[in-house]
């Protein structure tokens, strides 16, 4: 997974409340690693998308400080946010102690997070098209929307002849599109790690910890997320209009390819927020 920052792109991790939530397990029922995914042959687009402070503040528990974002004079306050859109062709799920939970093919997920002042991200919205992964995460209290079977991800040729990797996100409350231009030359593969956090309604703090081996390269990203939960949280409408051309304009982001391991548990990540 990847983190994108203005002017700096670092290979790292890499996202509305669940439509149907399974009961959260008490913290004592999930000591240590709870669900681990070995994700390979992955493609990701990561891009900054600032959040409305008024919309996101009710979702952030006490004790977590968000990073302010540049806010034009007279506009409502904003905080820094990040969107990660990911598809992995192979995902192996493991439970506590490495117990096999099965192998899944072509798994897509979307994460919308707020940046934390102490480092890392606080997840405010997460969606996936894989019912098995969604069920496992929901059992632990992680917020999950289940995308529908019409969710797709594929390499496509743009109107200008460029190569793009495009996502169509479909499901209850979701009707969106994201595309990332494939850079002509990719940066070298590097090892990295990153952490995201979410506090469940019963007070359990869950950490999503990534260990990555991936290439992260600056890229242009286009997106239309107006008809998704992102729209209720973003500081400005999640569609960038270009008066000179139809459709959304490009936005600076990061194109990521590689593989990684993600562990969702009650144990803090090595690089995670305290």
Q: Pairing between strand 190-199 and 205-227?
A: antiparallel
Per-residue b or e along 103-124, where b marks 16 or more CB atoms closer than 10 Å to that residue's CB: ebebbbbbbbbbbbeeebbbbb
Q: 262 near 37, Cβ under 8 Å? A: yes
Report pLDDT for 270: 81
Predicted structure pTM score? 0.84
C-alpha torsion sign, points 226, 228, 232, 236: negative
Report pLDDT for 10: 34
Q: 83 near 196, Cβ under 8 Å? A: no
Domain ranges of the chain: 2-265
Exposed / middle / buried, residue 151 (Cβ in 10 Å: 0-12, 13-18, 19+): buried
Report pLDDT for 100: 86
DSSP letter assigned to residue 129: S
Report pLDDT for 5: 39
Distances (CA, A) of 272 to 9, 122, 149, 218: 18, 10, 33, 24
CA 3/CA 105 separation, integer angstroms? 24
Report pLDDT for 76: 92
Query: 2-265 sits in which CATH class?
Result: mainly beta
> How would you write the pLDDT of the chain (274 residues) with one tens digit per residue?
765 433 333 333 332 222 222 333 333 343 455 899 999 999 999 999 999 999 999 999 999 999 999 999 999 999 999 999 999 999 999 988 788 889 999 999 999 999 999 899 999 999 999 999 999 999 999 999 999 999 999 999 877 778 999 999 999 999 999 999 999 999 999 999 889 999 999 999 999 999 999 999 999 999 999 999 999 999 886 655 444 444 556 789 999 999 999 999 999 998 544 4
């Amino acid at each position: 997974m990847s983190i994108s920052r203005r002017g700096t792109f670092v290979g790292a991790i890499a996202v509305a409340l669940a439509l149907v939530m399974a009961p959260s397990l008490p913290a004592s029922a999930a000591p240590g690693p709870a669900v681990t995914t070995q994700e390979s042959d992955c493609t990701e687009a990561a891009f900054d998308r600032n959040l409305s402070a008024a919309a996101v503040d009710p979702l952030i528990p006490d004790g977590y400080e968000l990073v302010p974002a540049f806010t034009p004079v007279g506009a409502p306050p904003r905080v820094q946010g990040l969107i990660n859109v990911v598809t992995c062709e192979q995902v192996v799920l493991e439970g506590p102690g490495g117990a096999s939970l099965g192998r899944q093919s072509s798994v897509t997920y979307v994460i919308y997070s707020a940046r934390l002042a102490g480092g890392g991200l606080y997840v405010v919205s997460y969606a996936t098209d894989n019912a098995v992964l969604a069920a496992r995460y929901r059992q632990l209290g992680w917020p999950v929307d289940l995308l529908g079977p019409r969710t797709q991800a594929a390499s496509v040729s743009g109107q200008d002849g460029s190569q793009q990797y495009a996502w169509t996100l479909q499901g209850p409350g979701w009707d969106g599109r994201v595309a990332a231009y494939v850079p002509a030359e990719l940066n070298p593969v590097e090892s990295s790690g990153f952490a995201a956090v979410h506090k469940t309604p019963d007070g359990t703090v869950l950490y999503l910890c990534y260990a990555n081996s991936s290439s992260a390269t600056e890229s242009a990203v286009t997106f239309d997320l107006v008809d998704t939960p992102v729209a209720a949280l973003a500081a400005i409408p999640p569609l960038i209009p270009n008066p000179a051309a139809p459709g959304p304009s490009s936005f600076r982001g990061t194109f990521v390819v590689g593989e990684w391991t993600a562990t969702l548990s009650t144990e803090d990540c090595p690089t995670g927020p305290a």
